[in-house]
Amino acid sequence: MKGIKILLVDDDADFRKSVTKILESDGYNVITAFNGKEARQKLKKEKPDLVILDVMLPDEDGFSICSELKEMTGFFEIPILILTSVSAEIEGEKYAERIALYHKADDYAEKPINPKELLARVYALITRMKITISEPTNKKKLLIIDSDIDFVRSMRELLESNDFEVQSADTANGGIKMVKAMLPDLILIDAMLPDKDGFTVSRELKIDTQTYNIPIIMLSALDKQLRKPDFVGTMASTHKVDEFIPKPIKPEHLLAKIRKYLKHD
């Protein structure tokens, strides 16, 4: 991720400092802005690859800035992560997230945020952006949708060492966007995700004419938490999952299943 430039817009100096340190430790180049006016100046001057945007700014709200950027020629493709402490709920749904997505934000997270989660979300957004401009390869493309960072890392190492191109997302909504952006040859998905369960994601993808033919393998330890382990497999099947594999996973078993669906030599 060297050379990737991130614009961080937040009026909290301590927060800017801590987030900058986290991002720079992972190789990102960080530019900061205090308010909306300064953000626009830095945006035009620096042309960042990603924007992390607070909602409550001194001069205007981040939602409006997000919506404006997504309608500007030359800037609409820049991924925007809304990162805020506004967390009130309406009928069990977080209204700030609903408004963020309405204003075309690419992702949403609440403060305080775990450094690993922040880096995972940033990586997913940057990767998604790169997919849209990358040159095609002959490798089969796999997408992992799982919030367990360590598990995703181990799966990435296994699959890439077996000549697959691998991308990942740590949320259901992010995963669905990644699917639409990259049209993978196969999807590996967990049953339990932070924002929506994997069963629902599978059903949504399988009734979409653009994605219905993409094989989906569900990987989950949920079966070990239930009195009737077979229930999870049955749920997966009824939600149009092509294959269910319980965690922990045997690498050779997973690779065999992947090759079965891809007819990968």
Determine contact, residues 77/47, Cβ cutoff 8 Å: no
State pTM to two decimals: 0.61
Please state whether the peptide bond connecting residue 48 to the residue before it is cis, i.e. omega within 30 degrees of 0.
no
Phi/psi at 55 (5° precision):
-85, -45
Distance CA 52, CA 147 (A): 20
Count CB atoms within 10 A of the CB of residue 232.
Answer: 22
pLDDT in tens, 199-244: 999 999 999 999 999 999 999 887 555 545 566 667 777 888 999 9
pLDDT in tens, 79-132: 999 988 865 444 445 556 667 767 788 888 888 899 988 998 898 888 877 765
Give residue 124's pLDDT: 83
Distance CA 155, CA 123 (A): 16
Burial class, 1, CB count within 10 angstroms (exposed 0-12 / middle 13-18 / buried 19+): middle
Distance CA 133, CA 255 (A): 29
Please name each of the domains of the chain with its CATH number.
Answer: 5-123 (3.40.50.2300), 135-262 (3.40.50.2300)
Q: Which residues contact 200 (CB under 8 A, 6 or more apart)?
A: 172, 239
Highest mean pLDDT among 26-30, 60-64, 136-140: 26-30
Alpha helix stretches (DSSP H) within 138-183:
149-161, 172-182
Confidence of residue 140 (pLDDT cuts 50, 70, 90): very high
Determine contact, residues 218/198, Cβ cutoff 8 Å: yes
**Beta pairing class for 141-145 and 165-169:** parallel
